[in-house]
Structure formats: structure tokens, C-alpha cells
Amino acid sequence: MTKADKIKQSIKLTKEKRKLQTPKVFQLKLQTLSKSDIKTLERLFLEAKWFYNYLIADIDSRLNKKSEKLKVVEIKTPNSFEKRELNLLGSQVKQGIIERIKTSLKALKKLKEQGYKVGKLQFKSDFKSIPLKQFRITYKIDFKRNRIKVQGIRKWFRVLGLHQIPKNSEIANAFLVKKPSGFYLYVVCYLWREEVLREIKQKQTSIPVGIKYQLTLTTGESFKWYIPETKRLKRLQKILARKRKGSKNYQKIKRLIQKEWEYIKNKRKDIQNKVISYLKKFPFIAVQRDDIKGWHEGLFGKEVQNTGIGGITARLKYLATFIPVEFVPKYEATTQTCCRCGFKQKVELNERTYKCQKCGLEIDRDLNGAWNILKIGLKQLAKKNKVLADRLKSALPVDCGEVTPVEWGLSPR
């Protein structure tokens, strides 16, 4: 068997194994960095930017197999062109950057075929993510001493967060990321789905997304949070407006603003993590595809921006790799339909209690929508997997009937 055949066989076996696994990304922060360490890492990102910009300046002649062996690239300066050496950037890291460019070109080509107007790839003023495509070659992890090593840099870096990676997980590629708060390594691992599914409880729910209450469950629980922009951020933005663009003070304040935005983003992400962690206990989830982008561009831009509810639906797509998640179409009139008798009536946005004109049911507006979403989600699931749908229906309360609740009062929060 030739080397090429062995590689093909290995790729085929890996694809079959990936069907039984699910990917998960773990964030590791580089700790106790000295000034020389920070300087070395910043040089690595600078070389990655030079290499990327050099390739996209002339894609037709420069994007080839010989590019990964380049040691010197030509960059444009304010006055002329200068040659710069690539001392830290390894060949496999260069391969990862080349693959990223090819992926971007394929995406642009696909958009062009769909009728969209597309331009060329833009030059990067700052490179914030370096792909490390192969474990033990482009990067190494020492679990005993809590440290990592990146190709091209001799020194080992101490990291925080290695305890998150399970022992039986399969480590794949990684990304070295630069943030205002420091440098991070994002490690992609593959976990076996059977082990993740062991903790699931037999109870299902649906999730309507809203403005007054961000999430409402059929269990009667509602979630509400609000993370606005900080006073410090507004003060820094005023200071930045008075600085000369491009000056050292301008760059200093800009870095502080980036750090403050990262702090706000982390607070919103922390809430999303807690909500998703709570939703993992349900073996089935139904959620409606609401037009959150339309809300953001319309009357509720501030509410959507400061709650980050759009990130919840994106995280639910990832959660679908562990448990069944059905997405109900956004045009379904879930808030205007009675969840008990199915009668449809017009309900204004300011009416928070649904009063059915046919059967007299009075129920919270969001809770009524949640039950309707659950019914539609179970119907969609029945078309794909009837056995699983029947099992989930049998786990409903006895007085629920055919996924239809008995008369409810206003659900306490």
C-alpha cells in the first residue's frame, strides 16, 4: 500500500468516526507572560499579517504550493516597498493561512453565483487569529505542567484552563487568538455523543424568544437579563473623539475601548452559557426562527443589542448535535393561536395576556406561544423520527392530552 492510499484510508476512517462525535472548543489563556514573551507573540501575529497581505496582493501568481516555503515577503510602507523576513512563522502555519484564503475565495465565488455583488479580499490591518492545523506538530500540550508550545517559538507557555479538556476527548486543530485582554489558545476537541447524552432528563420544552422576557419555557419559567454599555466605555469614546487619529494616545485609548467591549461581551456570553447549560437537561427543544435581525434594525435595536438574544439561537444549533432541536418557521402564528382549541385571533403587541374568544382560555402571551411552538416542533420531529416523537409525547403530563394543556392561569415567574 502506497503512502497516498494510507492517507486516503485514514481520512475515510476519520470521517466515519466523526459521525459518532461532536466538536467542542475549549479556551485556554496564556499566563505569566513577560515583556519578551509578549513581544515574540506580537511578532508572530505581525508576520502572519505580512504573509496574508502578500498573498492576496497577487493571488493568481502567489497562491500555490511554493508559498508555504517563503522566508521573505515584500510589504508596502508609506513611502515604498520593503522586504521582511518570516522568522517565526512555520510552514504548517503558513499552510493554514493559505487554506483560510482558499476558503474565503470559495465563499465569495458561491455568493457571486447566487447573484450577490462581491469584491476582492481586503488587506488586514491587524491579524487576530492564527490557525494551528495539526496537534503535536503546529502546537503541543503538556498536561502535567499545564503548558503549551507553538510551532516557530522555542519557549513553552503556561496556560490556564487545561482541566476543562476531558481525558477521553480527541484533540484536533487549534487557533492562537489575540485579544485586548491577552493571548488565548482555542483548542478544538471531539467528544463522543453517547457520553454527553447520559445526563439528559426526560422532559421537553419550547423556547419563544422575545423582548420583554428574552426566553419563556413551557414549564412556566421566564428568563430576563440586560447588559448595557458601561459608563466607562462612553467616557472613553468621548476621549477618543478628541484625539488625533493615528497618534499614540489615540491607539492607547482605542485599546482600552476594545478591552471594555471584551468585558461587556464576556458578561453577555456568561449569561448565554448559563442559559444553555440549563437547557441541556431537556431531551427535546423546539424554538421559533424569529426575525431578530429585523428587531435589531427596527424599534428594538437597543434591547436586542444589550441582551445578545441572537446568540442563543446560534448556540441552540450547536446544542442540536447533542439533543433533538426543532426550529419552527417564523411565519407560524404561534402567539395568535389558542394553544387549547386552535382558534386564531389578532393579538396586539401590547397585549401580554391571551384571551381566547372561543373557549375563554386566559393565559400569558409568551406561554401560549411556547405551547404552540412545542406542538409544531413535535409534528416536525414525527415526520423525521416517529418513535422518538411518540416517546417524548408519552413523557408529557397526563392532563396535557394531545400536547394541549388544560385551562391555565397566568404562569407565575
Q: Tell me the pLDDT tens digit for each residue of 143-158.
A: 999 999 999 999 999 9
pLDDT at residue 411 in the model: 33
Residue 31 is placed in which grid cell? 499566563
Give the CA diameter of the chain. Answer: 79
* Contact in structure between 173 and 131 (CB atoms under 8 Å): yes
Number of Cβ within a 10 Å radius of residue 338? 22
HEC string of the chain?
CCHHHHHHHHHHHHHHHHCCEEEEEEEEEECCCCHHHHHHHHHHHHHHHHHHHHHHHCHHHHCCHHHHHCCEEEEECCCCEEEEECCCCCHHHHHHHHHHHHHHHHHHHHHHHCCCCCCCCCCCCCCCEEEECCECCCEEEECCCCEEEECCCCCCEEEECHHHCCCCCEEEEEEEEEECCEEEEEEEEEEEHHHHHHHCCCCEEEECECCCCCEECCCCCEECCCCCCCHHHHHHHHHHHCCCCCCHHHHHHHHHHHHHHHHHHHHHHHHHHHHHHHHCCCCEEEEECCCHHHHHHCCCHHHHHHHCCHHHHHHHHHHCCCCCEEEECCCCCCCCECCCCCCECCCCCCCCEEECCCCCCEEEHHHHHHHHHHHHHHHHHHHHCHHHHHHHHHCCCHHHCCCCCCCCCCCCC
How far is residue 14's CA from residue 296's CA, in Å, rounded to a whole number?
41
pLDDT score at 147: 94
pTM of structure: 0.67
User: How far is the C-alpha of 79 from the C-alpha of 372, rounded, in Å?
Assistant: 65
At 219 the pLDDT is 74
Can you give the pLDDT at residue 397?
44
Residues 6+ apart with CB under 8 A from 293: 310
Distant-in-sequence, close-in-space partners of 143: CB < 8 Å, separation ≥ 6: 162
**The predicted structure's pLDDT at residue 208:** 60
- State residue 131's pLDDT score: 95
At residue 400, the pLDDT reads 43
Mean per-residue pLDDT pooled into runs of 10, the chain (413 residues): 80 82 89 93 95 92 88 87 92 93 93 90 92 93 94 93 88 93 93 62 55 72 82 93 90 92 89 82 77 68 73 76 75 81 81 82 82 81 66 48 38 33
Query: What is the rounded CA–CA span in Å between residue 89 and residue 96?
Result: 11
First and final C-alpha spacing in the chain: 66
Question: Which residue do the cell numbers 485586548 mark?
Answer: 180
* Tens of pLDDT, residues 364-378: 888 888 888 888 887
Between CA 265 and CA 307 the distance in angstroms is 10
CB 101 within 8 A of CB 63: yes
Task: Please check whether residue 188 is in contact with residue 139, taking contact to mean a CB–CB distance below 8 angstroms.
Answer: no
CA distance 161 to 31: 10
Residues in the chain: 413
